Amino acid sequence: MISQKHKSFVIIDNIMRSTTATMQRGFTIVELLIVIVVIGILAAIVLNTFVGVQVKAENNRTTDAMKAYAKALQGYKADNGSFPVALGYPCLGTTLSNTCARVSGSTACNGDGSTVGIPSFDAILQPYLGSTKPAPSTQRTNCNGSVFSGGYYYSPDGVATSIVYYLRGVSTCPSVGGLTVNSTFATDDGVRCGNTLN
């Protein structure tokens, strides 16, 4: 007759063998694929959220720079009676190249003629801007095969005056520094905004 003690050992031995066999079996390919798919979905969600936040931060950088320029231009007008006359289309802030946009075209992006950095314009506004020149985002906005960034100033007569800038990933233009939005044109991946200075 088998003793009670021996029966307990047999039961424990069977449990241990069953557990060891299960542990040695590992994961099936289906289980591994499910884990990989779940990780991929989570990574896509996080990446998409990060890119959206990054674009919004760059747009905020541009609008903050345009507000600083609007304030400087209004200070200039208060001291001189009119806005500065710009014979060209001076870029506002630092851009990756000397050209920040194209203007005077018939397309939504205004695709004929370049805007450029104009040192004399920067020198005129320097007392109103302070020691640090505002820096709009250098993110690129695409439209009809052309690439734009930042913003520019337009005033051929010191009266009809506006600030134009580009934002990505949005379809509407915010009011910058209390200025009136006078034009909104869709680009391939954002919007071109024009604000009138009063």
Q: What are the sequence ranges of the domains in the chain?
A: 32-196
Range from 40-54, 65-79, 168-182 that averages highest in pLDDT: 65-79
Residue 137, pLDDT above cutoff 70: yes
65, 92 contact by CB (below 8 A)? yes
pLDDT band for position 20 (50/70/90)?
low
Task: State how far the alpha carbon of 78 is from the alpha carbons of 63, 74, 84, 174, in Å.
Answer: 22, 6, 11, 24
Paired tokens of 53 = 């936040």
What pLDDT score was predicted for residue 80?
92
Q: Any idea what DSSP says for residue 181?
A: E
What pLDDT score was predicted for residue 78?
92
Range from 92-96, 142-146, 159-163 that averages highest in pLDDT: 159-163
The distance from CA 174 to its chain's CA centroid, rounded to whole angstroms, is 14
- Tell me the Cα Rg of the chain: 31
CA distance 62 to 3: 86
pTM for the structure as a whole: 0.69
What pLDDT score was predicted for residue 168?
85
